[in-house]
Each structure stands twice: as C-alpha cells, then as structure tokens.
Amino acid sequence: MEDFINKLYRNHSFIYKGLLFICTTFLIVYLFPKSGKFKYNFEKGKPWQSEVLLAPFDFAIKKNDAELTQEKQEIANNSVLYFDLDNSVKTRVTQSFAAQFKKMFSDSLPRVTYNSLFKVGQEIISEFYIVGVLGESYNFSETSSIVILEDRVKKQEGFFSEIIKQDAITPIIEKSLLKHNLIKYKKNFISLFFDLIEPNLVFNKSFTEKALQEDLNKIALVRGSVEKGTLIISKGEVVDAERFQILKSLQSEFESQEWGKSNYNWIIFAYTLLVALALLMLYLFLRKYRREVFENNTKVTFIFFNIFLMIFITTLVVNYDSKFIYVVPICILPLIFKAFFDARLGMFAHVITVLLLGFIVPNSYEYMFLQILAGIVTILTVSELYKRANLFISVGQITSVYIVAYFAFYVIHEGSVENIQWEMFIWFILSGLATLFVQPLIYAYEKIFGLVSDVSLLELSDTNSTLLKELSNKAPGTFHHSLNVANLAEASANEIGANAMLVRVGALYHDIGKMKNPTYFTENQSTGINPHDELSSKESARIIISHVIDGIEIAKKYNLPDRVIDFIRTHHGTSTVYYFYMKEKKDIEAVNKADFCYPGPKPFSKETAILMMCDSVEAASKSLKEPTSTKIDAFVESIVDKQIEEGQFLNANITFKEIQSIKKVLKHKLANIYHLRIEYPE
C-alpha cells in the first residue's frame, strides 16, 4: 500500500494532467449540440461537390427568412383594426344639440328656416355616428379593414376611411348646409358642433395586436414537401436558390430528429473522440515544444481553462441568438497566451479552440476562416502589449480583417451588395472593443494563477520600486552593477530574439541577496577595508555563495514572480567561487570543491543563460587594466568559453550561433563603456 501511495505521489503531476484532460473533454462535449451533424457542405451558387443526393426520408421544405418576412409584412399590412364603441355618446350629443340649438338660434327666425336648420343638425349628427367619430389621429391606411366592438362584441365592419376624424367635421357640416341652401349659417353651426361633438370610438390596441399575433402564428413555416427517394441534386449541379432551400430544410430536419438512446450515445461518443483528439494535439505540442509549460500544472490548467471559457461563452451566445456570435472576442485568447507565453503557443491554442467551435456555430466554415485569419493578424501585429497604443492598433486591424472577410463572403454568397447586413459590421466593432478587455483580464489572471506578463515586468523594472531603492541604499555598488548588467542583457536578448523585458528585470533583481552582507562584496567596499581578510577562505566562500539563497528569500518576501526568482537561482549556475577556492588550495591540498560551488541550478532558458554571461563579464571587466579592443575581445571569449566548458548552458535552449551573437554584443558594449577608439596603425 505504501509503495502504491509513493507511486501515486511520484506521478501526481501526470495524473493531474490526465484528470484535467478528461474533465475538459467532457465539459466541452456537454456544451455541444446533442444531434447528428449533416455530412454535406454546400453553398448557394456553387456546384454540388458530393455524390447524387436522394431524399433519405420524407421532409417538408421550409420557407426561407425572406419569404416569411414578406408574408408577415403582408399580414401586418392587411390586419384588421379594432375599435371600442361607446353607444351612449350619440344619445348624449343628440340631447345636447336640442338644448344648445335653442340657445343659439332665437325664435325670431322664420319657423320654416328654424325647423330646416334643426333638421340639418340632426342629419349631421346621424352622419357623424353612422360608423363613429375618432378622437385621436392614427397613421393607418384608409383602406384598412376595421371592426367596431360594443361590449367586446362585434357590431359592424368597414374600412378606416369610413370613420370620421377630427379634421373631417367642418367639411361635413359645410356639405350638409350647402345641400339645403343654408350655407350662411355655417359659422354658427361650426361653433355649435365644435363644443358638441364627442368621439365615440377608441382604438383597441391590445386587441388589435393580439389578433395580429394570432394571424402571424397561423403562418405556415413550410411550402410543399419532398418524398423519400426523390432526387434532390446531382453532382456538379449548381446549388440555386430553390435547391439551396431544399438542402437547408433537409439539414435542419436531419439535425432536429429525435434520436434514440443508442444513436444519442454514439453521437456523444463520436464528439468525445473528436474533442479528445483536438486537446491531445495541444498536449503533444506542449510536451514537444513547450516542455517548461507542460511540466507546470498551473500553466496547463490556465491554458485549458481559457479554451473552455471561450467555448462556454460562445455557446451561451449561440443559444441566445446566433447572430451575435461575432461579438464574442475570440481574439482575446491568442492575446492572453502571447502575453504569458509566446506567439506560437497562442496561435496553436487559438486554432484548436476555433476548430472546436466549428461544431457549435452556424456557417462553421465561414466562422472558422474569419476567426483563424483574425487570430493570425493578432499574433503578427501585437508586440509589447504593455504599450497601450499597440493594443488599440491591433484591435483596429482585427476589426478591419473581420469586416473585409465578411464583405467578401457575402458577395460570394449573394453575388451583390444590395442587401448586405450592415448591422454585422456593428457586431465586429463591438467585438473589437470587447478585445480591449484583455488588459484587466491579464491583471486578474496574474493574481489568480500567479503568472507574470510583460505588463507586470514593466512595473518591476521601475528603479523607484521599494526593493530596488533599498538595494541602492544598502548596496549602491551592487545596484550600479545590476543596472550595467541589465543594459548588457537587454541588448543581448534583443540581438537573439529573446524576451528582453524579462531578462532586464531578472538582471535588476539578480543580486538583491547582497543586501544582507553588502560589505563582503568588492563593489560595495568604499573604505578600502576588506572583511574577508579576517575570515577563512571557506567562510568567505560560504558568505559569497549565500547571497543566492538570501536573494531568493528576499524575493519571496517581496512577492516577486517565480520567473524573476529563476534569475536569482541560476545566475551563477553551479560555478565555483574561484578566488577563494584557489586561495584555500594553496593552504590545503585536499580541498572539497563542493564547499566552493554555487548550489545551482544551471540556467534553463535563453534569458537565464544571457544573464549568466552578462553578469560574469560585467563583474570581471572591473579588473581590466588599460583595456583595449583586443583585450576586451579576448576577455569576453575566455569568460564565456569557460562557462561553456563547465557545461553551464547544457539545460538552456540556446545555440552556439546565439552565444556568438551575444559575445559580439558584449564586446561592442564594453568597448563603448571604456570609450575605446579604433586603433589606427602608426
């Protein structure tokens, strides 16, 4: 049992990766649509590339969006308008008319005229309320059908033109008076009816909308059907509009079929295989080309988490409304991976993610083409993410690629730009703006996963930081040495394409352990007194070597990232404190060399190897007397070659060619430091 537990402990990293792989696979499969996938790819206006297609079962031909929209518009245009009738209004107006008429027209009028006027008034009221009077103005068509409701019961039907509107009252009065040769009483009648007429119709908006919705719900979503065995399309035939709609109907019917338990399980199994293969490719890439990432479970978890997060967000958007899929800022993924790792890993993970999203999104080929293209642009354009201008420029380029690619696809599908959906461009712009969220996201990831990006490195490179200020106060010589090493290391990193920002920060902090005993290091001995004179060689070596361990402790105390602490650990590798070793050897023949060696480890990256070379060269350059170009060249060659002979760079992925380039930079920089001129022949 104990052996089994020990075996589990030894392989816990591998077991964790396996569990992470399995969990991520099943979580992604859980998000996938649980239906069969139509096996044919087709585009409108393009030849059918597959074999002759016969209808595998009976299915209905669905109407396309344009047809449904047209039908809905026709129904809306011909919909019935409903009005509520208040029958008491006409009675009230008739009674008021009799009373007001007597007040307005005195008995002095001839009886015949008086009676005629009264009779005309009654006729006008009757005409007003044949259908009814509407109090508000509505922008309905005059030919629209109407239904008059009294107590929610249909009383009469007609057209909207038959309803009396406010602006039609005066013309009706004039027409009736003119008919009976009483036009001279127009002013009196208009004044009388202006206060008298009341609207008896009210537009019933809710009832009208409900009736319209019922009519819309009755729209048939299909037009005709295709029987099993019917020829749908032959190889080489062009997919015209009619065939395209039939194929889309077949695809929709196929993917929406009710699957039996056996079919369902097979579909899940097949999805699981495909997702597992995709994630396995990512694992293999990390294991072969990014070994340091693969061996760090936190970084592997971070990568898988981000891939799953993008798939999860896209699934939510597709389930809500698939037209918003381009709002999801997929290009955040390569940006994040490039910020924390490198461009190649970012591109590989982005492609894997987009391939997986192809199972979820509609028009998967078009979607994948756009997203992979945008990912390539992201990787190629974004450099030095900590510079805000670079991010804005990159977002603009990503948005432009989306817009241009979508425009090209639309023209290919439709053959014109007349009905192009301009709102898609808004989604692309929103996606670009959402990509700007990468900055706060990087900060959050740094805190959650303990990673470090170039943005954090820029902050750490500030020489006004608390730790570097303390170093400059306690060990000014070491601080000055660190600045010189940082400049040499940054120039060397730029020369071979390494991470210049990382190596600069590592150089600034690599000797912070010397703050504990600053006077034991020659660069800080300003009084001429050397405390090593009172110590044995072994004790002196122990103090010198301990600055590495002390530096690690101080770095952890100040919460420096592990990537920076790696420079403190490795900047001397397993080299020997040569001066004290040789001094001890003079006194004692049998010397244990291990007592005079740094604990290591050796540099394991280009950046840590660069720091080791620059640190040794800069420190030793202080002993050069009357330096010349020839002396400096030989000096740099001897120091670096000695480190190569000791095998200090065996674990670092650095080539001899890159080492030669670094030597060249160091020679040039040291020549500038000592202000050497070209040695002209006499």
pLDDT at 6: 67
pLDDT band at 106 (very low <50, low <70, confident <90, very high): low
pLDDT at 680: 47
Q: In this structure, is residue 208 part of a structural domain? A: yes
Which residues on adjacent β-strands are paired with residue 85? Answer: 201
pLDDT band at 676 (very low <50, low <70, confident <90, very high): low
pLDDT band at 300 (very low <50, low <70, confident <90, very high): very high
Element (H, E) at 224: strand 222-226
- Residues 232, 339 within the same domain: no
Query: Does residue 99 contact residue 156 with C-beta atoms inside 8 Å?
Result: no
Look at the chain and report how many structural domains it folds into.
4
- Residues 545, 627 within the same domain: yes
pLDDT, tens only, 145-156: 888 888 878 888
pLDDT band at 428 (very low <50, low <70, confident <90, very high): confident
pLDDT, tens only, 204-256: 888 888 988 888 888 888 877 888 878 888 877 777 777 888 888 777 777 66
pLDDT at 570: 93
Mean per-residue pLDDT, 515-541 = 83
Phi then psi for residue 157, to 5 deg, are -120, 165
- Residues 82, 179 within the same domain: yes
Indicate the residue among 423, 449, 475 that finishes a domain: 449
Residue percentage of the chain with pLDDT more than 70: 92
Query: CB-based contacts of 671: which residues, under 8 Å, 6+ apart?
Result: 629, 632
- Residues 669, 547 within the same domain: yes
- What rounded mean pLDDT belongs to the chain? 84
Pairing of strands 153-159, 145-150: antiparallel
For the cut 80, the answer to whether the pLDDT of residue 417 exceeds it is: no
- Residues 338, 462 within the same domain: no
Query: Could you tell me the residue range of the domain that residue 251 belongs to?
Result: 37-63+220-255
Residue percentage of the chain with pLDDT more than 90: 25
Q: Which DSSP letter does residue 58 get?
A: -
Q: In this structure, is residue 174 part of a structural domain? A: yes
The gap from C-alpha 571 to its chain's centroid, in whole angstroms, comes to 39
pLDDT band at 383 (very low <50, low <70, confident <90, very high): low
For the cut 90, the answer to whether the pLDDT of residue 555 exceeds it is: yes
Neighbours of 312 (CB within 10 A): 14
- Residues 80, 152 within the same domain: yes
pLDDT, tens only, 654-668: 999 999 999 999 999
- Residues 212, 224 within the same domain: no
Q: How far apart are the first and last CA of the chain?
A: 83
For the cut 90, the answer to whether the pLDDT of residue 19 exceeds it is: yes
Lowest mean pLDDT across 221-225, 275-279, 347-351, 614-618: 221-225
Q: In this structure, is residue 493 part of a structural domain? A: yes
pLDDT band at 309 (very low <50, low <70, confident <90, very high): very high
pLDDT at 233: 82
Mean per-residue pLDDT, 601-623 = 90
pLDDT at 1: 64
Query: Does residue 190 contact residue 37 with C-beta atoms inside 8 Å?
Result: no
- Residues 235, 310 within the same domain: no
Mean per-residue pLDDT, 479-492 = 94
Token pair of 24 as six digits: 């991520």
Domain CATH code at residue 605? 1.10.3210
Mean per-residue pLDDT, 593-612 = 89
For the cut 70, the answer to whether the pLDDT of residue 675 exceeds it is: no
Residue by residue, DSSP assigns 237-289 as -B--HHHHHHHHHHHHHHHTS---HHHHHHHHHHHHHHHHHHHHHHHHHHHHH
Q: In this structure, is residue 69 part of a structural domain? A: no
Q: In this structure, is residue 682 part of a structural domain? A: no
Lowest mean pLDDT across 152-161, 164-173, 257-266, 336-345: 257-266
- Residues 24, 45 within the same domain: no
Q: In this structure, is residue 680 part of a structural domain? A: no
- Residues 545, 657 within the same domain: yes
Cα dihedral across residues 369, 371, 372, 375: positive or negative:
positive
Query: CB-based contacts of 130: which residues, under 8 Å, 6+ apart?
Result: 162
Query: Does residue 91 contact residue 157 with C-beta atoms inside 8 Å?
Result: no
In a 10 Å sphere around its CB, with 0-12 CB exposed, 13-18 middle and 19+ buried, how is residue 593 labelled? exposed
Vertex 144: Cα angle to 139 and 145 (nearest 5)? 135
pLDDT at 276: 94
- Residues 515, 650 within the same domain: yes
pLDDT at 393: 80
- Residues 461, 607 within the same domain: yes
Q: In this structure, is residue 678 part of a structural domain? A: no
CA gyration radius for the chain? 43
Element (H, E) at 658: helix 656-673
Q: Which DSSP letter does residue 223 get?
A: E
For the cut 70, the answer to whether the pLDDT of residue 679 exceeds it is: no
Mean per-residue pLDDT, 180-201 = 79
Mean per-residue pLDDT, 340-364 = 89
For the cut 90, the answer to whether the pLDDT of residue 347 exceeds it is: yes
Q: In this structure, is residue 265 part of a structural domain? A: yes
Vertex 159: Cα angle to 158 and 164 (nearest 5)? 100
Indicate the residue among 231, 255, 279 that finishes a domain: 255
Indicate the residue among 449, 475, 508 that finishes a domain: 449
